[in-house]
């Protein structure tokens, strides 16, 4: 199955890729990616070879990634925001036959456009590897997750059955292509017929929404928070067909605000290992239920005896690429253990309780920091919170909280009193620390919980 040619045959003159300067239709996308694939092959790239691409989002990167899929090479988009030493370590583990940065990708693609020979070896097998996407591991050391064409194909198919993306639609590429949520957009477009809009890296989200005919959008909670406060932001979000929200827990105040503004919000839970979405709301959210939607087609979800979320299905990745080869990360029954704790209702809705490795024991009771964080952010004017364990002579561990709050927030005593009413004394933090900015993992927007644990 060759997805780009198939999309060209099916969607032909429909818009496929849009930038500020140019628009590609599916037929043009087919012709240009064929030229780039031929150029890759002429440069010595062969079936199964790993090609690393270290660059921010661009139309050239989209075209290069699609060309690599067509010829059977394995694309490894790498986070360009990593420190250089971190990138060097990632590349050493990948051992790619070619590494391209932003300028090299642009030059390679531009040169390929002048080719008249578009002959290359087409790869169609569904089970062949096509991508290596690195996880944003909480430990700071990302794992290299390898996916097959089948993984991405069924991920997009299952998503489309719940949230269609059709010709005439336009999804803003607001997530980086080195993130599974961004990379998955390529397959959503090729299978559904909607267009991808690619803004320049220095364009704000608000400006992008004003510049492109966006109908679909993927955001993380921090992006949604900022858009709801941007000039004209709520109106632009309200005009979308769908806003897919995932990446981290959504605070109750943010969810209530989005519902109040009539944003067509779809909550989702996913992972790199499952090729992005696992569960998604079946319709726009109109009440804060606390769940992350229903299990999508081609995925299976179970809860282990100790409460861990287990997943498998057509979307489950091939394994982690390590120095000694590919390690399949599944148990004897084929389940992948996510490390997340959760509950699955009788009607198939998944509620994520928090990370297994962030849980700690205080006075003999299991404490989930995420539960305390949700209680904190439900208090008016507390925008974000992180809870970590601190050593305690009597209880073993007690919770400590780090807060980002507005200037009109309650004082510490009032916050502590509110939490005791909601959670009880044992789950109430013994100390509150107010901060202006978060300490994050290198090259990531993810909060470095380990750093805060070391400060407590």
Residue 280 neighbours by CB distance under 10 Å: 25
Instruction: Compute the Cα dihedral for 58, 281, 136, 67 and give only its sign.
Output: negative
- Give the pLDDT confidence of 273-312 residue by residue, as tens digits: 999 999 999 999 998 888 999 999 999 999 999 999 999 9
Between 332 and 136, the more confident residue is 332
Mean per-residue pLDDT of the chain: 92
CA neighbor of 28 nearest in space, from 100, 125, 102, 118: 118
CA neighbor of 316 nearest in space, from 294, 301, 332: 301
DSSP state of 352: E
Residue 424 neighbours by CB distance under 10 Å: 10
Sorted by where each starts, the structural domains of the chain and their CATH numbers stand as 3-353 (3.40.50.12780), 359-455 (3.30.300.30)
- Give the pLDDT confidence of 94-151 residue by residue, as tens digits: 999 999 999 999 999 999 998 888 888 888 899 999 999 998 755 457 899 999 999 9
- The count of residues in the chain is 456
Between 84 and 298, the more confident residue is 298
Can you tell me the distance from the alpha carbon of 170 to that of 174, in angstroms, rounded to the nearest whole number? 12
DSSP state of 357: G
Cα diameter, the chain:
76
Backbone angles phi, psi at 119, to 5 degrees: -80, 130
Cβ–Cβ < 8 Å for 399, 387: yes
Can you tell me the distance from the alpha carbon of 268 to that of 294, in angstroms, rounded to the nearest whole number? 9
Cβ–Cβ < 8 Å for 371, 342: no
Confidence (pLDDT) at 335: 98
- Is residue 238 scored above 80 in pLDDT? yes
CA neighbor of 131 nearest in space, from 144, 121, 120: 144
| Alpha-helical segments (H) within 355-448 | 369-377, 412-423
Confidence (pLDDT) at 140: 54
What separation, in Å, do the N-terminal and C-terminal C-alpha atoms of the chain show? 54
Confidence (pLDDT) at 406: 86
Confidence (pLDDT) at 148: 97
φ/ψ bin of 363: left (φ > 0), alpha (ψ from -120 to 50), beta (otherwise): left
- Give the pLDDT confidence of 403-447 residue by residue, as tens digits: 988 888 889 999 999 999 989 999 999 999 999 888 887 777 778
Place of tokens 């070619």: 98
CA neighbor of 344 nearest in space, from 406, 300, 401: 300
| Residues forming beta bridges with residue 144, ordered by sequence position | 134
288: number of CA atoms within 13 Å, CB side? 14
Cα radius of gyration (the chain): 23
Q: For the residues 446-452, what does the mean pLDDT come to?
A: 84
The residues near 268 (Cβ < 8 Å, ≥ 6 apart) are 244, 245, 246, 277, 278, 279, 280, 281, 292, 293
Can you tell me the distance from the alpha carbon of 156 to that of 165, in angstroms, rounded to the nearest whole number? 10
Can you tell me the distance from the alpha carbon of 440 to that of 448, in angstroms, rounded to the nearest whole number? 5
- Is residue 349 scored above 90 in pLDDT? yes
- Is residue 22 scored above 60 in pLDDT? yes
CA neighbor of 388 nearest in space, from 423, 346, 360, 415: 360
CA neighbor of 80 nearest in space, from 54, 106, 51, 100: 54
Between 405 and 4, the more confident residue is 4
Can you tell me the distance from the alpha carbon of 400 to that of 284, in angstroms, rounded to the nearest whole number? 35
The residues near 338 (Cβ < 8 Å, ≥ 6 apart) are 271, 273, 308, 309, 310, 311
Confidence (pLDDT) at 47: 94
User: Could you give the dihedral angle defined by the CA atoms of residues 329, 357, 361 and 429, in that order, rounded to the nearest 10 degrees?
Assistant: -160
Q: Where are the beta strands (DSSP E) in 149-202?
A: 170-172, 195-197
Q: Where are the beta strands (DSSP E) in 253-381?
A: 265-271, 276-280, 294-295, 299-303, 308-313, 319-322, 325-327, 336-344, 350-355, 360-362, 365-367
Between 153 and 379, the more confident residue is 153
DSSP state of 281: -
Confidence (pLDDT) at 1: 65
CA neighbor of 58 nearest in space, from 239, 223, 182, 231: 182
């Amino acid at each position: 199955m060759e997805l780009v040619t198939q999309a060209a045959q099916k969607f032909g003159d429909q818009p496929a890729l849009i930038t500020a300067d140019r628009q590609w239709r599916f037929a043009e996308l087919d012709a240009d990616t064929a030229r780039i694939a031929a150029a890759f092959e002429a440069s010595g790239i062969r079936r199964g070879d790993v090609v690393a691409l270290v660059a921010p989002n661009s139309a050239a990167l989209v075209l290069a990634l699609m060309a690599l899929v067509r010829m059977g090479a394995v694309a490894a988009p790498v986070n360009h925001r990593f420190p250089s030493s971190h990138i060097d370590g990632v590349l050493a583990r990948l051992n790619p036959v070619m590494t391209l940065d932003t300028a090299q990708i642009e030059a390679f693609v531009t040169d390929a456009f002048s080719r008249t020979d578009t002959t290359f070896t087409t790869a169609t097998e569904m089970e062949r590897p096509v991508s290596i996407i690195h996880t944003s591991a909480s430990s700071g050391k990302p794992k290299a997750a390898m996916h097959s064409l089948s993984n991405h194909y069924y991920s997009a198919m299952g998503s489309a059955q719940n949230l269609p993306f059709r010709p005439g639609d336009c999804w803003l590429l607001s997530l980086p292509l080195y993130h599974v949520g961004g990379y998955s957009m390529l397959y959503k477009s090729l299978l559904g017929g909607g267009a991808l809009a690619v803004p320049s890296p220095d364009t704000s989200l608000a400006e992008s929404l004003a510049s492109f005919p966006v109908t679909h959008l993927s955001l993380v909670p921090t992006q949604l928070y900022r858009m709801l406060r941007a000039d004209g932001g709520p109106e632009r979000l309200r005009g979308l067909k769908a806003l897919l929200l995932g990446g981290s827990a959504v605070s109750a105040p943010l969810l209530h605000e989005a519902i109040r503004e009539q944003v067509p919000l779809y909550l989702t839970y996913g992972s790199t290992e499952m090729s992005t979405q696992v569960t998604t709301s079946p319709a726009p959210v109109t009440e804060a239920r606390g769940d992350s939607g229903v299990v999508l087609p081609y995925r299976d979800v179970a809860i282990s005896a100790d409460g861990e979320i287990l997943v498998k299905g057509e979307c489950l990745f091939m394994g982690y690429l390590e120095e000694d080869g590919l390690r399949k990360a599944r148990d004897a029954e084929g389940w992948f253990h996510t490390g997340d704790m959760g509950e699955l209702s009788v009607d198939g809705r998944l509620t994520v309780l928090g990370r297994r490795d962030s849980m700690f024991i205080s006075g003999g009771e299991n404490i989930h920091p995420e539960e305390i964080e949700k209680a904190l952010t439900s208090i008016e004017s507390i925008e974000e919170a992180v809870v970590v364990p601190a050593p305690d002579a009597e209880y073993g561990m007690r919770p400590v909280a780090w807060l980002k709050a507005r200037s009109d927030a309650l004082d510490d005593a009032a916050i502590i009193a509110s939490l005791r009413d909601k959670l009880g004394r044992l789950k109430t933090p013994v100390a509150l620390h107010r901060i202006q900015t978060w300490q994050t993992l290198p090259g990531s927007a993810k909060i470095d919980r380990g750093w805060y644990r070391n400060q407590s």
